[in-house]
Chain A
């Protein structure tokens, strides 16, 4: 082998070596790329699965959020209905009718509805929510304004009524004094008697009026004095069943309403007791409530309330 051949062989050997290392590098690189791709695929799959799972969770959350919102809306509507029994589940019935009417209007070919259509469930839901809430403003309107059974009904401090009774008694005493004088009694003595009687009425009324304000605990002697004052009577000559709304009238009709009627200054009457109706005691017990249920729903008795 000559020198030239030797050089060529060396070059070939060098080339072979460099080719080998490049090939090795390429193989290594390809292996790496495969590894990267495999890892990437695996992660992509995990991320996609994760995404699907999250999507399902979001759907469930969305549904429960909708349900929660619906429950609150129904709660508000239910509360409004519960406040006014005269409207008989109005807030509950309106949405049912509204949705049905809207659907019919949407489906209708009539000229009047040619531009009206409900395009999807979301739009129908808007109609439903709006109709559920159509009366929600009533929540902030006082009951005695929004739900009056009669024109003169309002939240009322009955001290005015009791004062009027004292006014009646005051005049009765004046009349009684005049009768005494007509009957020939000593005018001066009668005047002294009248002044004393009317002074007592003033004192009694002032005492009751103060007790009406007091939120403090009442002393035993005060309670006894109220009982004493309550016993005084006046005579009613007018029919007290007139001008009443149905429910109150039903309660008053259970009393003796004939006139003239002797009435007490303060009294507890049948009309003052609002019975507890439609209360499901079994359900109450089943739900585990332990607090005893008061026998009546409300007691508006004059003496009953003054005496606490």
Chain B
């Protein structure tokens, strides 16, 4: 399966989807059309879990600023991970800056909502 890569822009994060099992999102997320922007990533993930998931999938998310629709999309993203968490080993690192209170709180929300997912809060 081919890797997927998107460079960061002023409004969107850098996205690296590596078929070896390392997935990373780094940067800001307030695209004009959030769901359209993330659609290729979601498709790639669905296909990844359907066809050739690695023994362990590590997800590193370091999103310093994000809008409400990105927040909604991350819930969907974690839903997708949760659906696949029984058959796969998935580890999620939610990385945030010590001064970034909203990023930390969002991470706490995700942990609360997704009891079956292994989410680590990683303070930088």
Q: What residues make up the interface of A, taking CB atoms closer than 8 Å to B?
A: 32-33, 35-37, 39-40, 42-43, 46
Tell me if B113 and A40 are in contact (CB < 8 A). no
Asked whether B71 is an interface residue with its Cβ less than 8 Å from the other chain, the reply is yes
Given A35-B109, A40-B71, A42-B102, 16 more pairs with CB closer than 8 A:
A32-B72, A32-B75, A32-B113, A35-B113, A36-B68, A36-B71, A36-B72, A36-B75, A37-B68, A39-B71, A39-B102, A39-B105, A39-B109, A40-B67, A40-B68, A43-B102
Min Cβ gap B102→A in Å is 5
Q: Which residues of B contact A40 (CB under 8 A)?
A: 67-68, 71
Tell me if B102 and A33 are in contact (CB < 8 A). no
How far, in angstroms, from A36 to B73 measured CA to CA in the complex? Answer: 11
- Quick one: closest A residue to B105, CB to CB? A39
Interface residues of B in 66-121 (CB under 8 A from A): 67-68, 71-72, 75, 102, 105-106, 109, 113
- Quick one: closest A residue to B112, CB to CB? A35
Q: What residues make up the interface of B, taking CB atoms closer than 8 Å to A?
A: 67-68, 71-72, 75, 102, 105-106, 109, 113
Min Cβ gap B114→A in Å is 11
Per DSSP, chain A at the interface is helix
- Quick one: closest A residue to B113, CB to CB? A32
Per DSSP, chain B at the interface is helix
- Quick one: closest A residue to B68, CB to CB? A40
Q: Which residues of B contact A35 (CB under 8 A)?
A: 109, 113
How far, in angstroms, from A39 to B106 measured CA to CA in the complex? Answer: 8
- Cross-chain contact of A33 among B67, B72, B105, B113 (Cβ < 8 A): B72
Min Cβ gap A105→B in Å is 50
How far, in angstroms, from A40 to B69 measured CA to CA in the complex? Answer: 10
- Quick one: closest A residue to B70, CB to CB? A36
Q: Which residues of B contact A32 (CB under 8 A)?
A: 72, 75, 113
- Quick one: closest A residue to B101, CB to CB? A46
Q: Which residues of B contact A37 (CB under 8 A)?
A: 68
Q: Which residues of B contact A39 (CB under 8 A)?
A: 68, 71, 102, 105-106, 109
Min Cβ gap A109→B in Å is 55
- Quick one: closest B residue to A36, CB to CB? B71
Return the 10 tightest CB-CB contacts between A and B, nearest first. A40-B68, A36-B71, A43-B102, A36-B68, A32-B75, A35-B109, A36-B72, A39-B105, A39-B106, A39-B102
- Quick one: closest A residue to B72, CB to CB? A36
How far, in angstroms, from A58 to B9 measured CA to CA in the complex? Answer: 28
How far, in angstroms, from A36 to B110 measured CA to CA in the complex? Answer: 11
How far, in angstroms, from A49 to B110 measured CA to CA in the complex? Answer: 26
How far, in angstroms, from A267 to B72 measured CA to CA in the complex? Answer: 95
Min Cβ gap A249→B in Å is 74
Min Cβ gap B28→A in Å is 13
Q: Which residues of B contact A43 (CB under 8 A)?
A: 102
* A-B contacts, 23 listed (Cβ < 8 Å): A32-B72, A32-B75, A32-B113, A33-B72, A35-B109, A35-B113, A36-B68, A36-B71, A36-B72, A36-B75, A37-B68, A39-B68, A39-B71, A39-B102, A39-B105, A39-B106, A39-B109, A40-B67, A40-B68, A40-B71, A42-B102, A43-B102, A46-B102
How far, in angstroms, from A36 to B102 measured CA to CA in the complex? Answer: 11
Min Cβ gap A102→B in Å is 46
How far, in angstroms, from A39 to B102 measured CA to CA in the complex? Answer: 8
Q: Which residues of B contact A42 (CB under 8 A)?
A: 102
